[in-house]
Structure 1
Amino acid sequence: MADLSNLLAEQRRALILDEVRRRGGVRVNELTRQLNVSDMTIRRDLDALARSGMVEKVHGGAVSVEATRTHEPGFEAKSSLEPSAKEEIARAAAELVAPGSAIALSGGTTTYTLARHLVGVEELTVVTNSVRVADVFEQARRQGEPAATVVLTGGVRTPSDALVGPVADRAIRSLHFDLLFLGTHGLSPEAGLSTPNLAEAETNRSFIASARRTVLVADHTKWGTVGLSSFAELSEVDTWVTDTGLMPAAADEAREHIRELLLAG
């Protein structure tokens, strides 16, 4: 890989801006690796781009000016963010699932990763509004793995391949499950769990209402991010499984609201 550490500030910022426009958002830790410069240098670059109105700074990175609280990135765009953290979280969360359980998996790239770790768990019943999650278990069944019973809700498809809306809400509220594994766009003490999609917020409320225990699966970069619509208080989460990238101060604050915090990896 080419050494990009000697780029002029203007060149470096142009590369960052191209990446933001291409992907919809970037993380500071990703840019430090790609450009081989310090965390402080990247933050100064993002400050300069934000002052010029070219990007909007968010916790841990920046998004395009179009990517406001109402912007919902597509599934592929979100899949490229924090893949190793999602793997660690999924591995730890999978240990909470016992054979014969009735569980629910909301939409999202972390719950999708978790689904891959649950293939082979015997006599599992899975309720999901994620087309991607349902596909994981269907492909496993075709390959001869122990087949989970999958209930895929109906609904309107979001950019992240989740099914939401009144049809999904009615289906979910008619069911009851032991564990809910829930993804989120962001979480904070003030806004709780939030999403850019109003219909998805209501569907997530339905999931929480039907679950005996709610397990949030979200990497550390979600802390401090706020979407358009809140759908739960932090106190409604029984367990948050996240990665060790969560800062100690944030972990302490989270523990004041959430019953159990598991740091994967």
Structure 2
Amino acid sequence: MRKSEDTLNEEMLPAERRQHLIDWFKQNQAGSGQDLARMLGISVSTIRRDLDVLAGEGLVRRTHGGAVAIRSRSSYEPSTDLSQRTAVEEKLAIVREALTLIEPGQSLLIDTGAVICHRLADEIAKIEFPLTVITNDLYVAKQLTYRDNITLIVPGGACRVGSFSLLGEPGLGFLKNIHCDIFFTSATAIDENGTSETNLELGHMKRAMAAAAREVVLIADSSRFMSCALHRTVPINSIDLIITDAGLLEEDRAKFPPHKPRFKTIDRTQVAVPDADDIGPNTPS
């Protein structure tokens, strides 16, 4: 009697399975245990053991329910295409929680250079009450153009090659003379000291935006945490609230200061899609 495909895969040599995982993590930032087990046709318990071995060798970092790739180079920056395919549901859940902070008449700064901020712009475009939005991101600006209720301000700058980011002057000079209600930001890397980026000019822009806001809200999926890129940007004590998903391990969360920033952890399975009328400060979280 012929063995099933699942049985054959379970009998694959452990070293062979782990090499498949190593190759997969070279192309992908994060994966859940269930998805990886399904991909290899093995049990979740087997994939957990394999991920534990790879984590022990320093090749991945274990998260709640899966693992993320460890990038040893501080200059590593995931491509826009990879970012768009990583933690899709988690990003959407984080964005929907961020929407509950927005009130009519507020002025918002929206970060540049992050896919999750693009998803935030997609959702803000559905809001009907009046807002002022300032951004140096061409994608964000495009999504909010022709919205009668949104006053859109794009300070300008030179476009970074391969991205939607406008960096340098006149944007930096403009930001020194404004004061907004909320700055929604993300980052290439986040640890207990703050955020960091691979690009120096991008770091300058993010610091200027943070200084121009009453409240700084960091929105990022858990794969961005506990790593550090080349250029420090916003220090941890300048961030008021971090919204992330449940993949951030409690032992890593405990490394952050106890009182500031505050943390809001989102379980993607518990997040309902809000109606436009529900967006605002009274939306239950």
Q: Which of residues 130, 138, 152 in structure 2 aligns to 1:131?
A: 138
Aligned pairs, how many?
249
Given the alignment, which residue of 144, 151, 154 partners 2:153?
A: 151
SS in 2 for 1:187: strand
2:124 maps to 118
The residue that corresponds to 2:83 in the other structure is: 78
**Structure 1 letter corresponding to 2:94:** I
Work out whether 1:246 is the aligned partner of 2:255. Answer: no
1:168 CA drift (Å): 3.1
Identical counterparts, % of pairs: 22
- Partner of 2:187, secondary structure, is coil
Q: Distance in 1 between matches of 2:38 and 2:136?
A: 35
- The superposition leaves residues 228-247 of structure 1 with CA deviations (integer Å, 9 ceiling, x where unpaired) of 11112211101111122222
Answer whether contact 2:83 2:115 (CA < 8 A) is retained: yes
Q: 1:195 aligns with which of 173, 194, 197?
A: 197
CA apart distance, 1:32: 4.6
Question: Which is greater in Rg?
Answer: 2
1:110 maps to a residue whose letter is I
Match of 2:109 in 1: 104
Matched residues in 1 for 2:37 and 2:234: separation? 34
Q: CA deviation at 1:183?
A: 0.4
Helix, strand or coil for the counterpart of 1:254? coil
SS at match of 1:179: strand
Letter of the 2:49 partner, please give it: M
Q: Report the more deviating stretch, 169-178 or 3-12.
A: 3-12
SS in 2 for 1:70: coil
The DSSP-based 3-state class of the residue aligned with 2:76 is coil
Residue in structure 2 matched with residue 44 of structure 1 by the alignment:
53
Q: CA offsets, 1:115-165, max 9 Å, x none?
A: 222123221111112222223223xx4xxx654222233223254532223
Query: Is the contact between residue 236 and residue 261 of structure 2 (CA under 8 Å) also seen in structure 1?
Result: no
Unaligned runs of 5+ in 1: 51-55
Report the equivalent of 1:162: 165
Deviations 1:14-52 (A, max 9, x none): 4334434445x444645455334422302424666x6xx
1:245/1:20 CA distance change after superposition, 3 Å: closer
CA contact (8 A) 1:195 1:228 kept: yes
SS at match of 2:206: helix
CA deviations on 1:146-189 (whole Å, 9 max, x unpaired) are: 54222233223254532223443223333321100010112212
Q: 1:220 to 1:214 in 2, by over 3 A?
A: same
Within-5 A mapping of 1:201-240:
201-240=203-242
TM-score, normalised via structure 2 length = 0.76
Give, in angstroms, the shift of residue 249 of structure 1: 2.9
Query: Which structure carries more relative contact order (alpha carbon 8 Å, separation 6+)?
Result: 2
Q: Which moved more, 1:11-20 or 1:207-216?
A: 11-20
Offset from partner CA, 1:209-261 (integer Å, 9 cap, x none): 11111011112222211111111221110111112222223334335252421
Residue by residue over 1:182-212, the C-alpha shift from the partner in whole angstroms, topping out at 9 and shown as x without a partner, is 10112212x4211111111111111011111
Which position in structure 2 is the counterpart of 1:53?
none
Given the alignment, which residue of 181, 186, 196 partners 2:184? 181
Between the aligned partners of 1:163 and 1:197, the Cα distance in structure 2 is 13
